[in-house]
Each structure stands twice: as C-alpha cells, then as structure tokens.
Homo-oligomer: A and B are copies of this chain.
Amino acid sequence: MATIYEVSKLAGVSLATVSRVINNTATVREATRERVEKAMRELGYQPNTMAQSLASNRSNSVGVVVSELNGPFYGTLLSEIEKAFRAVGKHVVFAASHSDQAIEQQSIEFLKSRRVDALILHVESVSDEYLAKLNQTDCPVIILNRDVPALEKQCITLNNRLGGYLAAHYLLQLGHRDIAYIAGPQWKSDARDRYLGHCDALREAGIEPNPELFYEGDFQETGGTQGFLALQQKAIAFSAVVCGNDEMAAGVIAEAHDQDIDIPEKLSIIGFDNVNFSHYVYPKLTTIDYPIASMGQMAAHWILQHVYQQKTPPLQQLFEPKLVIRDSTTHYDDNCAKNSP
C-alpha cells in the first residue's frame, strides 16, 4: 500500500503539502494540487486511517450502544445512523448491551477504547451522573429516548404521553368506552408516559381510568398474551385493548385468533411503535408511529454539527408520534357484544 511519502516523492512536494491536499486544510496552489492528486491516483493511494487518527487525535468514528442489534426498532435506527455517517466518510461501531446494566457499561467502555469521536446511546441502566461525566471527560454523548437533565441539549426523545393519548382518543372517537390497557414495565419512563397519555384521553372524555382494565406487561409478545388472558379473567367487559407496544399487541392478536375472537368486530386492538411486523399481522395493526428513523438521523446530525462542524438540517429534539390507522380497529356500538369470558 502506498504511503504519503511515496505520493510526495512522485508529486515532488513535501509531506505537509500532500496532507494539505488530502485534508483541504490550507491554501494550495491549483497546479500543485493537481500534481498531488495525479500522484495519488497513479499510486492508488488510500490514507491509513490509523495514522490519521493517531496524528490528529480524532478517529473519525462514532460508537453506538443499543440493547440489541436486531429487531425492527433497533435495526431501523442502526441503518439510519450508518447511512448518515457513511455519507461523510465516518465509520460507525455498534455494541449491544442486551438490556443489562453491567454489559451496558462494558459496551460504553469498549467503544471508548476505540477512541470514538462521539457516542450515541440508547441505554437505560447507567446513571445520569455517569452519562454527564462521560460527556465531560471522554467524548460528546447523545442520548436517545431518555431525558438526562444535565445533558438536556443532547437528548432526543419522543412525546410518549401524546402517543398514549392518541391511541385512546382514537378509540373513544370510534365509540369505545371500556378500553383495556396492557402496559410496558412501569420502571421504564416511556412505558409510564404512554399510560399517562392514555389516562389523559380517558379523563378528557369524562371517564375515570379503571385499574381493573390495566395490566403491566413486559414489552414482549408473551406479556401481551398473558395480559389479555388476565384481563379476561377479571370478568370485566372491554371492547378494545391498547398495548404499550406492537409486540404485546401481536401477542393479544395471536391469543384472540386462538380463541376465535373476531378482530376488529369483537375487539379492537391498537399497538405502539409501528415496527415493521405490525404490517404483517392479520388484521394489519392500527398503531402509533414511533419515528425512530428520523430520531436516528437527528442524533447523527447533532454529532455532525457539533463534533465535525458540518452543516446539517435544523436540529430537533422532541419528536411527535402519529396514529397509523390500519385494520385492527373498528367502530363500537352497543349492538355488538363486548369482549368478556
């Protein structure tokens, strides 16, 4: 592999001039530039990024920590991030934390050892203090889907409360009044906020939320199935179920199929996230769109602007969910039997 010394020899200039041409860091006479570029082409020169990084104390890479590298939610996020950085020649290194506190911290340390220029973190367990210190002593940090007061300009979040509101509001508009809710784990702020928004919509319609129509699930498909069974056992009628995410909604749908419950004629169902499989369940799921692609792009833009001084579209921190109406919901009136055991 050709080195910068060989390019400088062939072009008849110094190393510094070759470097200036490569990095566009200073004025170079046009004729000189062309000589250098010609030499680089002839030698098939590719800069050694390790040497560049060491000499410039910048790695031109960004680290990303997420719970898993697969799945519809994270896959979309990773894809958008890679796309944004690739477009400007920066590499991305991903690490999976598997929703485990120890592994979360290890993942961050692992990426730090790579001297990444910045970190994009979708993490839950590490403390606010840890994140603030990390940002101060190591590298800039951008946080997805979490509010860290000390880093408030560096957090990108979704208005989960509004999402919860939109789902319940839509069902109320369809005429439903007895709406069951299968929540995500309530230690997670997004799960809590979604339920709060749900209650907002109920109260706005003059309905006091009924604790008997609430089940705390685990954001997994099995949690949806178990939640549905548990709600049925309470012998309280409900004509609709809102789930805190699409995966639990899929669990409800599967169980409803098993019980030959007609969806949406006998039971309307709404999920949250609009992950790609929500389109594959039958009937197609009405859900709340979580603009994870846009949020991933925004995280990348923040870094491009603040770390690499590149121009980007305007930055946005708070994202709004949208209702996506598909086939799993329908009008409710008293002539249809409500779902009960």
Contact = CB atoms under 8 A, between A and B. Distances in A.
Interface size class of A (residues with CB under 8 A): 35 or more
A18 B328 CA distance: 64
A46 interface: yes
A75 B83 contact: no
Contact of A75 (B48, B70, B82, B93): B70
B280 A250 contact: yes
A76 interface: yes
Residue from A49, A50, A112 having most chain B Cβ neighbours under 10 A? A50
B96 A46 contact: no
Contacts of A250: 280
A51 interface: yes
A203 interface: no
B54 A82 contact: no
Contact of A70 (B78, B94, B281): B78
A93 to B, nearest CB: 5
A68 interface: yes
A331 interface: no
Interface in A4-48: 46-48
B69 A113 contact: no
Contacts of A89: 110
Contacts of A71: 75, 276
A94 B96 contact: no
Interface of A: 46-51, 53-54, 59, 61, 68-72, 74-76, 78-79, 82-83, 86, 89, 91-96, 109-110, 112-115, 250, 253-254, 257, 276-277, 280-283
CB-CB nearest 10 A-B residue pairs: A70-B75, A282-B282, A69-B79, A50-B53, A50-B54, A277-B277, A70-B79, A75-B75, A277-B280, A69-B78
11 contacts: A47-B113, A49-B115, A50-B59, A70-B75, A71-B276, A78-B94, A82-B96, A91-B114, A254-B282, A277-B280, A281-B282
